[in-house]
Structure formats: C-alpha cells, structure tokens
Amino acid sequence: MSLFEPFQLGDLTLRNRVAMAPMTRARANAAGVVQPMTATYYRQRASAGLLITEGTNISADAIGSPLTPGIFTAEQTAAWRTVTDAVHEAGGAIVMQLWHTGRVGHSLVRNGVLPVAPSAVAIAGQKHFTPEGPKDYEVPRALETAEVWATIDDYERAAENAKSAGFDGVELHAAFGYLPNQFLVDGANQRTDEFGGSVENRARFVIEVMRRLVRVWGPSRVGIKLSPTIPYNGITDSNPLATFGYLLGQLNELPLSYVQLMQPLFPIDAFPAESWPRDTIEAFGPLTRATVMANGGYDQAKAEAVLASGKAQLVSFGAPYVANPDLVERFRAGAALAIPDRATMFGGGEHGYIDYPTGTSVSHQD
C-alpha cells in the first residue's frame, strides 16, 4: 500500500492517500467571509487526495479566534462556493471541518460575550490570543440544556450550508479541546443533565451531532476528528480508552466516511496519567469500522509505514502543506521540502499564504 495509490472513500475516488489536514490560517475578513486568495490557496493544494478545510465556525457563538471563517451566513456560504469550484476544477476533493470552539476563546474576540462550554470550568496554564495580546482564559458560561440542543441544530444548519457551497462532505472537529471534546471528557464536563456524568451521557453531544450531519449528507460523506490522547486546552479524562472506545462503538452504527485520529503532539511524559495509550492509532484505530486517517507528526516515511501496517488507510499532513502546496509531487520525487515561515502562519495577506513556490529546487526542512 502506497501514499500514491488511489483510494475509494465511499463514492469519492481519491487520487492518492494523502490528505491535507485542517489548519487555521486566519485569512477571513471580520465578517467571517473567506477571500479570493483562499480559493487560490486550496486550489494550489488540490493534488492531495482529500483537502480538509480550516476549522469553520458553525455560528456566531462558535467563534473563539479572530479572522476565522464561518458557514452560517449567506455571504459566507457563497464565498466558500468559489473555493469548492476552484478545487473541483483542479480535479480535487474537499470537505469542510465544522468548528465550535467552546471555551477556547475570549470575550475580547466575541464583542464582550463570554465563551460557552459544557461547564463553568476555565482552561488553566494557557493563554489565548486576542486583539490585546495573550490573555488568561476566562471562566466560560455553562450552556443550558436547551442551548445544547440549539447548538446541535446549528451544526445541522452549517452542514446544510456546506452542502449548498459545493463541498464533498463535512468533518466534525471533535478534537484538540474544542466544544465536542469538552463534552466528551470528565475533566471539562461536570454537567448533571442528559449531557453529563456517565460516559454515555458525555458522548451524547457528539453522537447527536453526527446523526444530524449524516442526516444531511447521507452515507460516507461525514468524518470526525478525534484526539483521545492530547491534553492541550485543558483536556483530561480519567479513562480515555473507555470514553473514546464507547464513542467509536456508537459511531459504528452510522455510515461514516472516516475517523481522523491525532497522535500525541506532546512528550508522553506530559500525559495526565500513565494509563493513557501512547499510540493513538494502535489503540483506537481497530475500534472503528470507518476508514482510519492517521494525523500528527507524520513525514513520508512514517506515513508509508502506517499504511503498510494496515493500521490506517489515509494519512493527513498539516504543517508541511503550509510551504509545500505541491507536497504530493515532492513526496513522489523524493524532493526536499520548503521551510514554512511561522511569522505568517496566522493572519495577514497573500505573503506566506499563496506565494510559496512549487518545484523541487528548495532548501530542505530541518
């Protein structure tokens, strides 16, 4: 099995097994509308088997960081259509990652409104980027039960808008400490209603959202991103194997497209407990019936190895795609990779976004 082999993902024929992972680039305008350069950005990278967009806010209440795009207004939806058209004209496939940041935000980014979360538990030991610089996280406002159901409705409307915008599917961002992840883990979810307490109740939010997404999109067009072993953004759980094992078992009842699993991005000695699995793909991959997409720290050699092992069928790459729009071609040629400019990762204009050259005569990434 090779990175360059085609892959049948439901009724989508992917030209290879390389996916571009979702990456926030903060190039939308203040109204959450992507700009013409965004269509260029994704078209440049359309040789990937599958493109996954940056996290896209499902509602105004989902916003946590400035200049991130949305999919909850007609203007936002129309702008995304220019992106999907550009990708499809280049022969690519693209899905939208649906995003609600929950407590990973700040009132300075939200017109003075506190972020919301399953419970009034703040993220400790980290700061959030705001227009006034890094700030400590605030204690979020706990969602009322009716508001939780209204948020699930927001996901469904966002999925419908993504379909109208011409995407090939959607992915639920349930990883890296954002709202669905907050509901899942007992370190962030202290609710006593139907969305808290037991593993079954804590998983209810994600399961209900996924049911709605499948209802909109049908079989093999809905994916999910999970990070069972990443403690970033204050995410801890007393038993990740039990929590995410139950979730994946329930999701097996739905006709999903793929499960994207993030490997740990931090030293394992920083894990909250010794019981946390050290290899996410090995521990959780066998628990899903869906296609497994491996993510997190992969280079070409590691990607080929995980495919050859049969533990994953697709591999997604994030940071390498920033400076290497033709990443697939560089992998195929055994060429060096360009070095991304971290100063232009987030925010700004075309520089550091769509002006990275293609070709193989570039410096090697250290």
**Model confidence at 272: pLDDT above 90:** no
pLDDT for residue 286: 97
| Residue 22 near residue 334, CB atoms below 8 Å | no
pLDDT at 189: 98
**CATH number, span 7-344:** 3.20.20.70
Q: Which residues contact 339 (CB under 8 A, 6 or more apart)?
A: 323, 363, 365, 366
Q: How confident is the model at residue 364 (pLDDT cuts 50, 70, 90)?
A: very low
Q: How many other CB atoms are there within 10 angstroms of residue 38's CB atom? A: 23
pLDDT of residue 361: 47
Task: Assess contact for 87 and 41: CB atoms under 8 A.
Answer: no
Has residue 79 got a pLDDT over 80?
yes
pLDDT of residue 363: 40
Residue 270 pLDDT > 80:
no
Average pLDDT over every residue of 141-168: 98
Quick one: average pLDDT of 136-158? 98
pLDDT given for residue 362 in this prediction: 42
The region of weakest confidence among 240-244, 250-254, 266-270, 320-324 is: 266-270
Give the number of other Cβ atoms within 10 Å of residue 10's Cβ: 18
What pLDDT is recorded for position 265? 77
What's the confidence (pLDDT) of residue 1? 72
**Residue percentage of the chain with pLDDT more than 70:** 96
Instruction: Quote the distance between the C-alpha of residue 247 and its chain's center.
Output: 17
Cβ contacts of 277-286, under 8 Å, gap ≥ 24: 277/228, 277/229, 277/240, 277/241, 278/229, 280/227, 280/228, 280/229, 281/306, 281/311, 281/312, 282/311, 283/228, 283/229, 283/241, 284/226, 284/228, 284/244, 284/245, 284/248, 285/259, 285/261, 285/311, 285/312
- 5, 35, 27: which is closest to 18 by C-alpha? 5
Provide the 10 A C-beta neighbour count for residue 211. 16
Q: Is the pLDDT of residue 277 over 90?
A: no
Structure confidence by residue, pLDDT tens digits, 21-56: 999 999 999 999 999 999 999 999 999 999 999 999
Q: Identify the weakest region by mean pLDDT among 5-19, 199-213, 266-280.
A: 266-280
CA distances, 18 to each of 4, 170, 260 (Å): 8, 17, 12
Residues 252-264 have pLDDT tens digits of 999 999 999 999 8
Q: Which pLDDT does position 271 carry in this prediction?
A: 63
Q: What is the mean predicted confidence (pLDDT) over 278-293?
A: 96
Share of the chain above pLDDT 90, in %: 90
339 token code pair: 């070095």
Partner residues linked to 7 by β-bridges: 14
Catalytic residue among 42, 155, 178, 258: 178
pLDDT at 62 over 50: yes
**Residue 267 CB: number of other CB atoms within 10 A?**
7
Residues 324 and 356 sit within 8 Å (Cβ to Cβ): yes
In this prediction, residues 182-207 reach a mean pLDDT of 98
| 333 Ramachandran zone, left/alpha/beta (phi>0; psi -120 to 50) | alpha
Average pLDDT, the chain: 94
The yes-or-no answer on residue 178 being catalytic is yes
Per-residue pLDDT, averaged over 194-220, amounts to 98
Asked if pLDDT for residue 152 goes beyond 70, the answer is yes
Q: Which residues pair with 317 in a beta bridge?
A: 20
